[in-house]
Amino acid sequence: MELTPSVLDIDWSEVETKIRRFIKDYVEQTGAKGIVLGLSGGLDSSTTAALSALAIGGDKVLGLLLPEQETYNTQDIKHAKLVAEKFGFKTEMIDITPALKVFYNTIPVFEKADKICKGNIKARTRMIYIYYYANRLNLLVCGSSDKSETMMGYFTKWGDVAADISPIMDLFKTQVRKLAQHIGIPKEIIKKPASPALWPGQLAEEELGIKYETLDLILYGLEHFMKPEEIAKQLGLKTELVEKIKHRWLYTEHKRRMLLTTKIEYRTVGTDFRLPRTLY
């Protein structure tokens, strides 16, 4: 297998159709009234929100803008509203700063210098807001995680990844960019550098230590059972770098699997309750 960017090229019309059908079918099957999702103004959530609106109609999609003081970014908010306007879905904005402050002030071991732990509070607080809307209004939570960050474990466990469905999770970041272009997401959103915005100035590629164009090809190779040496050779990289990516992928599997217990009884939750996800 030759690892060139073209391996990531698929028929974007077909992908769009498949994702739209998946969303529509799941909403109908579950009897939910629509979809709620967190809207950051970034590529992934903009694309997911737009696809949701295309699938079930914008009047049934609610994008929640959940900014907070430290990472407040007017451009991101402008972008989120731009997508909402273009694809005709509803938005609501809630400043989560007061809620975050309560956590910071009431957790006895809170350490403000630990930005990862603090950032995770932000992602999990957003999850609480989103799920409240879902419960209250009978909506499904639509996740926006892509395959690159999911495979890297580059997300907050029980935070941004928490969702009922994750329609773009089988697409790498560079593929999401192409799909976004295909469905008409504004260029400025596609081009801006990815950031989880858990602290000021946080940039995904800087933190991951690799460009998505390279990371996606490495992950594609690993997905296709290629050996790290072979991937490294083809991409002109050091084998150690590919090994490091592979290790991170395998090391973070616990973040992608739910409900681990130890086997005691006849059929165990998580490991051998093998049931369809929904009844129908």
* Selected catalytic residue, list 68, 76, 146, 149: 149
Rule CB under 8 A: say whether 12 interacts with other proteins. Answer: no
Active-site residue, 44 included: yes
Pair 40, 76: CB distance under 8 Å: yes
CB of 267 to other proteins, least distance (A): 8
Rule CB under 8 A: say whether 25 interacts with other proteins. Answer: yes
Query: By CB under 8 A, which span of 13-21, 107-115, 156-164, 243-251 interacts with other proteins?
Result: 13-21
| Helix residue ranges per DSSP H, the chain | 12-30, 43-56, 74-87, 97-106, 115-137, 147-152, 173-183, 187-191, 204-208, 212-223, 228-235, 239-251, 253-256
Pair 62, 139: CB distance under 8 Å: yes
Cβ distance to other proteins smaller for residue 18 or 263: 18
Rule CB under 8 A: say whether 257 interacts with other proteins. Answer: no
Instruction: For residue 271, report the phi and psi dihedrals to the nearest 5 degrees.
Output: -90, -45
CB of 228 to other proteins, least distance (A): 22
Active-site residue, 149 included: yes
Which of the 8 DSSP states describes residue 23?
H
Q: How far apart are CA 148 and CA 175, in angstroms?
A: 10
Cβ neighbors of 200 (< 8 A, separation 6 or more) are: 70, 71
Q: Which of 13, 21, 238, 240 binds other proteins (CB under 8 A)?
A: 21
Contacts with other proteins by CB under 8 A: the residue count is 15
Contact residues toward other proteins (CB under 8 A) are 17-18, 21-22, 25-26, 267, 273-280
Residue numbers annotated as active site: 44, 149
